[in-house]
């Protein structure tokens, strides 16, 4: 089962060369899930073993369809995978079976992935802590008493625990970054529009969330992104995205890095977060990159107003019909009810004001990128917290005034659709993982992956420090 430790692209090469069979890989994957998932609770709705082994045998006998051919994957439980339930962590949808694949899932299947089940998520993906009344909480493999983050917490924990080689996820407010940082893996929020979402409903207004890949190496991250990306004629704001896997071969460019710290004191951080971040940046400087501390380029309060207004407006659009039905509203968790109530209360002028602030921040960010290639922030402002908590209520004595205020550090990239690659950045003295956000201007996804690859060649943290399960 040592191949469960390998990069997915190396496993793919072994499958292609016949040194490994899809059946052997499936057997090892299921054995690992059976061995550790009971403690971690990351993989859900696991399909019948005999059905999966039959699919693996068919994959061994068939021509290879893509680099994922024969590789088991589990899909985040917010996305539809045909034949599997999509609960979204809500009792309202528990047991609902998807009739079709979402576009990104269809691309994974077309590249040969074998879909074995789902990965856990918070209810409707709200909150960076993976727990819900349908499937319970996902535990951090590095400390089972701690949160795995969210909303792609199941995906990140399954990767860290060697139950999956690669995983998909989604990110509105750090959901591919916070859990990656807390599980010592890589997560990528692509340039907005590069990975197609569901073409149903409104196609223009709510540009906040995106799908993306997670992996234990930048090579795997890039390879999975290349499968998921690409414009979709049904989505008018989608973009093609650049090929990324090919740019990680050979020498890598040195880059100008701007460290934003705590955004001039606007983002309170738990003790040790900034120190560990700065130690990682010093190591990057030792690799030849130009690292400079820079001032916050925009007002944090204005950005927070814009984000919380547009986010609540978007959540109200997606969950408003449930909220408006008194018999169904009670099944929404308090955070969801709060978001919808806020979103339904805004005037058109308030939405326009929030959008104008968003535009001002985009212009300021593009100005900042004249002097640096990459902006860097911590992946989270706190360490993985007790898995039984709902969310942090204070950081260093500063009260958090909402269920998601403690994740304010992810808003600068999310608000204007910038690409971000989370890299593992080390551990505190309790063995809890931490990550850094590498943020680039739109379309610089490949450039960010090159910096992540340079870091990975020097550190290899996911392989050097696996969880002890």
| Both structure tokens of 288 | 């030849």
Q: What is the rounded average pLDDT of the residues 295-315?
A: 98
| Both structure tokens of 320 | 């408003």
Mean pLDDT, the chain, rounded, equals 97
- Residue-wise pLDDT for 16-75, tens only, equals 999 999 999 999 999 999 999 999 999 999 999 999 999 999 999 999 999 999 999 999
Phi and psi torsions of 61, nearest 5°: -85, -15
Residue 180 lies in a domain: yes
- Residue-wise pLDDT for 155-199, tens only, equals 999 999 999 999 999 999 999 999 999 999 999 999 999 999 999
Q: What is the 3-state secondary structure (H, E, C) of 372-412?
A: CCEEEEECCCCCCCECCCCCCCEECCEECCCCCHHHHHHHH
Place of tokens 């994922």: 68
Q: How far apart are CA 82 and CA 86, in angstroms?
A: 9
For residue 151, whether the previous peptide bond is cis, meaning omega lies within 30 degrees of 0, is yes
Name beta bridge partners: 421: 188, 438
Question: Which residues constitute the domain of residue 71?
Answer: 2-464
Phi and psi torsions of 293, nearest 5°: -80, 130
pLDDT band per the 50, 70, 90 thresholds, residue 464:
very high
- Residue-wise pLDDT for 216-229, tens only, equals 999 999 999 999 99
Buried-exposed string 25-59: b where 16+ CB fall within 10 A, e elsewhere: bbbbbbebbeebbeebbbbbbbbeeeebeebbeeb
8 A C-beta contact, residue 244 and residue 446? yes
- Residue-wise pLDDT for 268-295, tens only, equals 999 999 999 999 999 999 999 999 999 9
Q: Is the dihedral of CA 226, 231, 232, 236 positive or negative?
A: positive
pLDDT for 242:
85
- Residue-wise pLDDT for 106-116, tens only, equals 999 999 999 99
Distances in Å between the Cα of 87 and the Cα atoms of 122, 210, 226 are 10, 19, 28
Place of tokens 């992946």: 379
Other Cβ atoms within 10 Å of 270 Cβ, number: 18
Short-list 425, 427, 4, CA closest to 177:
425
- Residue-wise pLDDT for 243-272, tens only, equals 999 999 999 999 999 999 999 999 999 999
pLDDT for 459:
98
> Which residues, 6+ apart, have CB-to-CB distance to 24 below 8 Å?
none
Other Cβ atoms within 10 Å of 397 Cβ, number: 6
- Residue-wise pLDDT for 333-391, tens only, equals 999 999 999 999 999 999 999 999 999 999 999 999 999 999 999 999 999 999 999 99
Q: How far apart are CA 195 and CA 230, in angstroms?
A: 6
Short-list 421, 408, 381, CA closest to 189:
421
Place of tokens 């460290």: 259
Decide the pairing of beta strands 166-171 and 210-215. Answer: antiparallel
For residue 206, pLDDT beyond 80: yes
- Count of structural domains within the chain: 1
Q: How far apart are CA 19 and CA 33, in angstroms?
A: 23
Answering whether pTM is above 0.85, one says: yes
SS3 at position 358? helix
pLDDT for 80:
97
Q: What is the rounded average pLDDT of the residues 82-99?
A: 97
Percent of the chain exceeding pLDDT 90 equals: 98
pLDDT for 133:
97
Residue 469 lies in a domain: no
- Residue-wise pLDDT for 403-454, tens only, equals 999 999 999 999 999 999 999 999 999 999 999 999 999 999 999 999 999 9
pLDDT for 319:
97
8 A C-beta contact, residue 446 and residue 240? no
pLDDT band per the 50, 70, 90 thresholds, residue 1:
confident
Question: Most distant CA pair in the chain: distance in Å?
Answer: 62
> Which residues, 6+ apart, have CB-to-CB distance to 305 below 8 Å?
354, 357
Helix (H) or strand (E) holding 188: strand 186-189
CATH number at residue 245: 3.90.1300.10
- Hey, which residues are catalytic here? 76, 151, 175
Distances in Å between the Cα of 86 and the Cα atoms of 12, 94, 121, 125 are 28, 7, 11, 12
Q: What is the rounded average pLDDT of the residues 132-161?
A: 98
Q: How far apart are CA 244 and CA 221, in angstroms?
A: 9
Residue 181 lies in a domain: yes
């Amino acid at each position: 089962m040592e191949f469960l430790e390998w990069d997915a692209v190396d496993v793919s090469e072994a499958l292609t060369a016949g040194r490994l069979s899809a059946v052997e890989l499936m057997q090892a994957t299921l054995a690992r899930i059976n061995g550790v998932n009971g403690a971690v609770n990351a993989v859900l709705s696991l399909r019948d073993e005999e059905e999966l082994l039959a699919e693996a045998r068919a994959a061994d006998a068939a021509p290879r369809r893509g680099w994922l051919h024969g590789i088991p994957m589990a899909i985040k439980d917010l996305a539809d995978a045909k034949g599997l339930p999509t609960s979204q962590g809500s009792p309202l949808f528990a047991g609902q079976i998807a009739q079709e694949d979402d576009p990104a899932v269809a691309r994974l299947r077309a590249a040969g992935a074998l879909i074995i089940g789902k990965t856990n998520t918070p209810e409707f993906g709200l909150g960076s802590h993976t727990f819900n009344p349908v499937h319970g909480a996902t535990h951090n493999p590095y400390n089972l008493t701690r949160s795995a983050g969210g909303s792609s917490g199941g995906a990140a924990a399954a990767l860290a625990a060697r139950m999956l080689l690669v995983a998909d996820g989604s990110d509105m407010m750090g959901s591919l970054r916070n859990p990656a940082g807390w599980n010592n893996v890589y997560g990528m929020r692509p340039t907005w529009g590069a990975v197609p979402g569901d073409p149903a409903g409104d196609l223009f207004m709510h540009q906040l969330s995106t799908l993306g890949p997670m992996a234990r190496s930048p090579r795997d991250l890039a390879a999975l992104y290349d499968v998921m990306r690409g414009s979709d004629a049904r989505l008018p704001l989608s973009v093609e995205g650049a090929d990324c896997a090919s740019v990680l071969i050979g020498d890598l460019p040195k880059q100008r890095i701007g460290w934003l710290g705590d955004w001039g004191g606007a983002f309170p951080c738990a003790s040790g977060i900034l120190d560990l971040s700065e130690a990682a940046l010093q190591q990057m400087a030792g690799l030849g990159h130009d690292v400079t501390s820079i001032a916050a380029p925009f007002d944090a309060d204005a950005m927070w107003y814009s984000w919380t207004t547009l986010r609540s407006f978007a959540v109200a659009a997606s969950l408003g019909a449930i909220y408006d039905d008194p018999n169904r509203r009670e099944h929404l968790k308090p955070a969801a009810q709060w978001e919808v109530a806020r979103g339904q209360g805004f005037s058109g002028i308030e939405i326009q004001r929030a959008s104008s602030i968003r535009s001002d921040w985009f212009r300021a960010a593009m100005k900042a990128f004249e002097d640096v290639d990459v902006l860097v922030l911590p992946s989270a402002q706190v360490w993985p917290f007790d898995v039984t908590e709902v969310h942090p209520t204070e950081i260093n004595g500063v009260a958090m005034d909402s269920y998601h205020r403690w994740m304010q550090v992810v808003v600068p990239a999310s608000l204007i659709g910038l690409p971000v690659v989370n890299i593992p950045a080390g551990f505190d003295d309790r063995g809890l993982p931490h990550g850094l956000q590498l943020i680039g201007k739109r379309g610089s996804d490949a450039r960010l992956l090159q910096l992540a690859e340079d870091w990975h060649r020097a550190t290899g943290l996911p392989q050097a420090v696996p969880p002890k399960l």
